[in-house]
Structure formats: C-alpha cells, structure tokens
C-alpha cells in the first residue's frame, strides 16, 4: 500500500499512513489524541491543525466555513477534511489535543527574602489647581521623593503616555512601580505587582507567575516551544535563523507569541492582567537567548562558538514584542559560553552549587545537556549535544511525554511489563520509557555491550531491521505493535555517550574518578522522570550508590524565580557565572577516545576496545 510519512509536531509522533487517509485518520493510527467532537463529519471545527510542509488536498467547503482566509493562507486546516498527497509535517496546537502533554511546571516555592528589582509605592497626589500648575509627571516624581524618599529620574515613556488620564480616573491615588530610578508602571492603589519567570527550553517552555511582594508562585503553565516545527535541536534552529532575517524573525515571533499566550493563561488563572506584570526573568540556552533577543547567531553556530554577549541584559519587554506592563523590563541572566547558557546558571543558583563543599556533579538533561562539576570550591561546566532522542525524536515509536506514552518498562523472565502516562492504552515510548527499555534489554542480555541486538525470543528480524516487541499489536488497540529497534538503541547510545563523555572529561580535568563524586544532582523534566538505576545500567550516569543521586525537577525554573524575587540572588548568579570554568569538549585531545568508550552500554571502562 502506498503511503505518506506524517510528522506530527510538537507531539513528536510520526509514521506512515495510507494514501487515502485523512489527517484525522492518521492521528488515530499514530496515537495522537486529536479533538474530534463531530467524529470527523467536518461540522464541529475543532480538529484544527496547521500543515507546515507537504502537499495536501484542496480546501473544502467545511474548512472555508470554520477557518478564516488568513488562517487558511497560513496552512490551518480541519484534520478530518484534509488528505495528504505527499509526506507532511503537521503542527497540532494544544487546544486541538484531548490530553495535554506533560511539561514540568510543578509549583516552585522558594525560600528567599523578597527583594525584587521593582518596588511598588502607594501614593495619593494633590490635584492641580490655579495655585499649583505642576505637570502631572513632575507632581508624581516630587511626591515619590518627598513622601517615599525615593529618587526617580525618569518615567518610562509608554507609562507616561497613559499617566494623565490614569491619574484623573483613579482620583489621584495610585501605585508607582519603581525600578532603579525609573517609574515602569502605574496601577490602581490596591493593585498587585506581578513578576514572570520563564525557563525557555529548546523543547519546552515553563512559566511561573509570582506575587513580587511576598514572593509566592501564584500560577504555573507549561507549553511546547513552538519553534519545534522548525527543527528539534539547536543546530537546526540556528541554521534556519541564519538563512535570512525573515526566518530569524519568524522564529523569534513564534516564541514571543507562545510567551504572550502563556502570560495570558497565567494571569487568567488568578484573574489578573498582563499589565500587572512589571518584571520578567527569562533563562534559556544561548541559542534560545540569542533568537529571542534577535541577536546574530552565525558566530554562535560556527567554531569557536562565540556568543554575542554573555553578560546579563535588561531589555524592555515591549522591544521584544512581549505584552506585559508597558514599561516592564525582561532581565536575562548571564550566559557562560557558546553552548552553556543562562538556564545552566539558573540551575546552579537554585541548587546552591557555588557553595557546595563536597564533590558534586549537576546535570540538566535535555536536547542539549549541561554538566557542572564542583570540586575544591571550583566550578567547571561542559555542554553535551545529547540530541532529541530522549524527547522521542528519531526513535521509531518515540513520542513526547503525553497520555499513552510508555514511561517505564520492566523485563523479567522474558515477560514485558510497562506503565503508561495516564494509564492509557500505549501509543509509543517517551524518554524515560526508551531509557528503561534499552536498560532492560541490556540487563536481560538481549543487547550486548556494543548495543547489538541478539536474536532471542521477543526479537524479530525482517532482514533489514531487528526489533524487540514491547507491546504486541493485539495489545495496542488496533495500532501497530510498539517496538524498540536496533536503530533506536544506536540513537540512545549516541545520546547517552554524549552525556557520559562530558562527565568523564570533567572528572579527568580535575584528576577525579567517578567514585570521588559525593553527590549527583539531576535537574530538568526528563531527569525528573528517569529511573536512575536504568541510567546507571546503560552507563549514562556514574556507577554509584542510588543514595548519592538527587532528582530536583525544574531547577532552571526555580533559579529564574529566585532571580526574579531577589536582587541578592541575581547578584549571586552574576558572580557565579563569572567564575565558572568551561571546557569545549570537541577540542579536548581525549574527546574521541572518551566518546568511543562512552558509547558502550554498561559501566564506563577506560580500557574498552
């Protein structure tokens, strides 16, 4: 049967479907839970998807009814009415999914004395009259000086534009939000002062809305990075941005739209307003940082991989296209090196690495994995190109962590047991499931140290491809069997090899062995859900007792919150970034040797041949 490969983003499901199947039918076949209230009759208008690439059937009457011309021009279609006529890449927006993806945004309470960069001052001004003809802005600045002992030298121009009508409508009572001598927002006297902390990841974006006065997290929300449609890893995004200014702008706009929507959702949850957000802190890897700030990326993508800037930046939110309080700033924490960004600094801040007394290894595992080693009071970091395999990409039945994803696997006496997210019928494997599956196959002797799959019960071989059947077709609710293939194992070896190489070269640089490590801190969404025993079994993590490992969740997000709430923490981050050493892995003379050893499954051995 002829068919087309359909790639659903950002859910990360792809597969071949029949040439006569609609996109809706393809979602059913590939386990993407698309909303289809009318069951595919074309009447509910809820199965909206955006065709990013590939040829599809002509626009039908139902689509013209449910979608605007502008939407149709941008590739939006009804999945039930659209038939692929070639391989396609299809974007599935969150509102078209029946079950949301798992993005890690647990409530992050942080114990820090609030000391934000923006301070609110309630004031009541005297109204002008014939004996007092001072300008409104001057009146405000003088009242701040006299009543609050706060010297301000400027009022943000957008804030100033709304000042006079606002003073009169609020009967001269107000709250002035002041940041380093500048009034950045004016609000009603009883209004709240909010802050936004964002961990801008290559794959996921986590946002937190805080009350800046007491430091409480009021709401949190996670979305997939909308840039995924333009490439899953950093290099493909950078390459895209280097093609033209228009492409770079498109990538930036995607993230800005995502952040604006996120801010709206966060505010809606607390019945707040985006104009109450007077300060934001955004952390991310250097590529995400540069793309959002619309900085040149050519020099970042080519050796010797130099960022445009490493030092922290304060930028007006509106200059980026973010819709917060008119005068709000976004503070960007410092980067360390080309591929070690402010998310790493943020993770170090949240985990207290700069004051760690013991030998500590901290990893933030993602599409790019940063690793920091602390020993003798010195910090040194590396960046490992671990790739998107643990996000489910380039894995035959890989998918991101959503309902139905197998998240853990056990293989005992030839019998496979597994657990899916949400207890749903299995539709694929997410990162922790992929890691578990490879570890279990290795421990059962089905994979050898080199990663080769042996022909044993459960393994099928059609001559081209060897694969182990995890879920037979009869248990997959009519979908095809879920397997882990020889190629998948290679992808995992590449990813875990990259991470282990970073760890080994860091240890070597300090003359340490893995047993010298007192504590291993694992940060990040993927790191939260992995089985540490499996990661040790395949040799991704050092062979140490389990009680030396600590899984800390989204530490980068927590660091962003700390830097938002506390100026002291912001200063600490800046000081720390300035003293972190950095090793460029590829330039290390031992790189190829260590990388080759790191690809083997099982404990790391320096003498492997």
Q: Which of 44, 112, 424, 469 binds ligand FES (CB under 6 A)?
A: 44
| 400-439 residues near ligand FES, rule: CB under 6 A | none
Phi/psi zone of residue 378: left (φ > 0), alpha (ψ -120 to 50 degrees), beta?
beta
Complex with ligand FES: residue 78 or 438, whichever CB lies closer: 78
Q: What are phi and psi of 129, to 5 degrees?
A: -150, -175
Stretch in the footprint of ligand FES (CB under 6 A) among 45-53, 142-150, 216-224, 505-513: 45-53
The answer to whether residue 26 forms part of the interface with ligand FES (CB under 6 A) is: no
Residue 20 CB coordination number (10 Å): 11
Q: Which of 40, 116, 222, 557 binds ligand FES (CB under 6 A)?
A: 40
Q: Which CA distances in Å does 490 have to 63, 194, 387, 408, 477?
A: 43, 47, 12, 19, 28
Q: Which of 16, 25, 45, 236 binds ligand FES (CB under 6 A)?
A: 45
User: d(Cα 400, Cα 476) in Å, to the nearest integer?
Assistant: 18
Estimate to the nearest angstrom the gap between the alpha carbon of 372 and the chain centroid: 19
| Nearest Cα residue to 365 out of 574, 551, 132 | 551
Residue 458 CB coordination number (10 Å): 18
Shortest separation between residue 60's beta carbon and ligand FES, angstroms? 10
Shortest separation between residue 62's beta carbon and ligand FES, angstroms? 7
CB 277 within 8 A of CB 195: yes
| Nearest Cα residue to 601 out of 532, 507, 528, 536 | 536
The answer to whether residue 492 forms part of the interface with ligand FES (CB under 6 A) is: no
Q: Which of 18, 19, 20, 37 binds ligand FES (CB under 6 A)?
A: 37
| 65-94 residues near ligand FES, rule: CB under 6 A | 78-80
CB 241 within 8 A of CB 248: yes
Stretch in the footprint of ligand FES (CB under 6 A) among 38-46, 91-99, 107-115, 280-288: 38-46
DSSP classification of residue 426: P
Shortest separation between residue 37's beta carbon and ligand FES, angstroms? 6
CB 434 within 8 A of CB 390: yes
Number of DSSP helices (H) and strands (E) in the chain, helices first = 18, 27
Shortest separation between residue 27's beta carbon and ligand FES, angstroms? 10
| Nearest Cα residue to 324 out of 251, 262, 249 | 262
Complex with ligand FES: residue 80 or 110, whichever CB lies closer: 80
The answer to whether residue 38 forms part of the interface with ligand FES (CB under 6 A) is: yes
The answer to whether residue 42 forms part of the interface with ligand FES (CB under 6 A) is: yes
The answer to whether residue 59 forms part of the interface with ligand FES (CB under 6 A) is: no
Stretch in the footprint of ligand FES (CB under 6 A) among 43-51, 356-364, 495-503, 532-540: 43-51
Shortest separation between residue 48's beta carbon and ligand FES, angstroms? 8
- Residue 214 DSSP SS3: coil
Complex with ligand FES: residue 77 or 240, whichever CB lies closer: 77
With contacts defined by CB under 6 A, how many residues of the chain interact with ligand FES? 13
Stretch in the footprint of ligand FES (CB under 6 A) among 31-39, 175-183, 321-329, 420-428: 31-39
Q: Which of 21, 46, 121, 122 binds ligand FES (CB under 6 A)?
A: 46
CB 1 within 8 A of CB 19: yes
| Nearest Cα residue to 603 out of 490, 455, 443, 486 | 443
Which single residue is written with the structure tokens 């690439």?
Answer: 53
Complex with ligand FES: residue 48 or 102, whichever CB lies closer: 48
CB 389 within 8 A of CB 203: no
Shortest separation between residue 36's beta carbon and ligand FES, angstroms? 4
Stretch in the footprint of ligand FES (CB under 6 A) among 1-9, 41-49, 248-256, 297-305: 41-49
The answer to whether residue 47 forms part of the interface with ligand FES (CB under 6 A) is: yes
Shortest separation between residue 68's beta carbon and ligand FES, angstroms? 15
Complex with ligand FES: residue 22 or 501, whichever CB lies closer: 22
- Using DSSP bridges, classify how beta strands 415-420 and 405-412 pair: parallel, antiparallel or unpaired: antiparallel
User: d(Cα 603, Cα 271) in Å, to the nearest integer?
Assistant: 52
Complex with ligand FES: residue 48 or 139, whichever CB lies closer: 48
Q: Could you list the residues that contact ligand FES (CB under 6 A)?
A: 36-38, 40, 42-47, 78-80
């Amino acid at each position: 049967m002829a068919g087309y490969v359909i790639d659903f983003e950002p859910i990360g499901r792809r597969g071949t479907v029949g040439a006569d199947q609609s996109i809706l039918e393809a979602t059913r076949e590939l386990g993407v839970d698309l909303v289809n209230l009318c069951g595919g009759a074309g009447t509910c208008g809820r199965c909206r998807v955006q065709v990013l690439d590939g040829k599809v059937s002509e626009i039908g009457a139902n689509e013209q009814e449910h979608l605007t011309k502008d939407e149709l021009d941008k590739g939006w279609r009804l999945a039930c009415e659209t038939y692929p006529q070639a391989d396609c890449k299809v974007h599935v927006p969150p509102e078209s999914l029946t079950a949301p993806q798992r993005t890690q945004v647990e409530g992050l309470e942080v114990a820090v004395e609030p000391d934000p960069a923006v301070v609110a001052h309630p004031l009541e001004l005297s109204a002008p009259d014939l004996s007092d003809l001072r300008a409104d802005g001057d009146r405000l600045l003088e009242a701040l000086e006299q009543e609050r002992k706060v010297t301000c030298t400027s009022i943000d121009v957008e804030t100033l534009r709304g000042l006079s009508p606002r003073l009169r409508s609020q009967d001269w009572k107000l709250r002035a939000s002041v940041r380093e001598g500048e009034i950045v927002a004016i609000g009603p006297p009883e209004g709240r002062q909010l802050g936004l902390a964002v961990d801008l990841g290559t794959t996921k974006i986590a946002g937190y809305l805080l009350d800046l006065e007491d430091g409480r997290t009021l709401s949190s929300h996670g979305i997939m990075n909308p840039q995924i449609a333009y490439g899953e890893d950093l290099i493909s995004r950078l390459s895209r941005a280097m093609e033209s200014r228009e492409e770079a702008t498109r990538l930036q706009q995607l993230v800005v739209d995502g952040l604006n929507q996120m801010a709206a959702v966060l505010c809606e949850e607390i019945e707040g307003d985006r104009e109450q957000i007077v300060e934001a802190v955004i952390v991310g890897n250097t590529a995400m940082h540069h793309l959002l700030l619309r900085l040149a990326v050519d020099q970042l993508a080519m050796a010797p991989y130099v960022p445009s800037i490493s030092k922290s930046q304060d930028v007006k939110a509106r200059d980026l296209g973010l819709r917060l309080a008119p005068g709000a700033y976004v503070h960007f924490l410092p980067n360390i090196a080309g591929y070690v960004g402010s998310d790493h600094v943020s993770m170090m801040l949240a985990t207290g690495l700069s004051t760690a007394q013991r030998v500590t290894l901290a990893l933030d595992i993602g599409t790019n994995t940063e690793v920091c080693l602390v020993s003798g009071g010195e910090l040194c970091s590396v960046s490992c190109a671990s790739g998107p395999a643990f996000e489910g990409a380039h894995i035959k039945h890989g998918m991101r962590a959503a309902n139905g994803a197998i998240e853990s696997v056990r293989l005992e006496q030839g019998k496979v047991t597994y657990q899916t997210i949400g207890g749903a019928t299995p539709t694929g494997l997410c990162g922790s499931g992929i890691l578990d599956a490879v570890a279990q196959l290795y421990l059962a002797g089905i994979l050898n140290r080199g990663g080769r799959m042996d022909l044993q019960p459960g393994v099928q071989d059609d001559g081209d491809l060897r694969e182990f059947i995890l879920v037979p077709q009869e248990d997959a609710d009519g979908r095809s069997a879920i397997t882990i293939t020889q190629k998948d194992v290679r992808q995992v070896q590449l990813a875990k090899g990259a991470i282990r190489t970073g760890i080994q070269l860091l240890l070597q640089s300090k003359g340490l062995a893995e047993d010298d490590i007192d504590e291993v801190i694992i940060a990040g969404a993927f790191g939260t859900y992995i089985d540490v025993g499996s990661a040790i079994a395949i040799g991704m993590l050092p062979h140490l007792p389990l009680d030396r490992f600590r899984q800390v969740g989204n530490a980068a997000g927590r660091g962003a919150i700390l830097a938002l709430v506390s100026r002291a923490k912001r200063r600490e981050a800046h000081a720390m970034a300035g003293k972190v050493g950095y090793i460029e892995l590829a330039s290390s003379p031992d790189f190829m040797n260590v990388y080759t050893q790191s690809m083997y499954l099982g404990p790391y051995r320096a003498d492997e041949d």
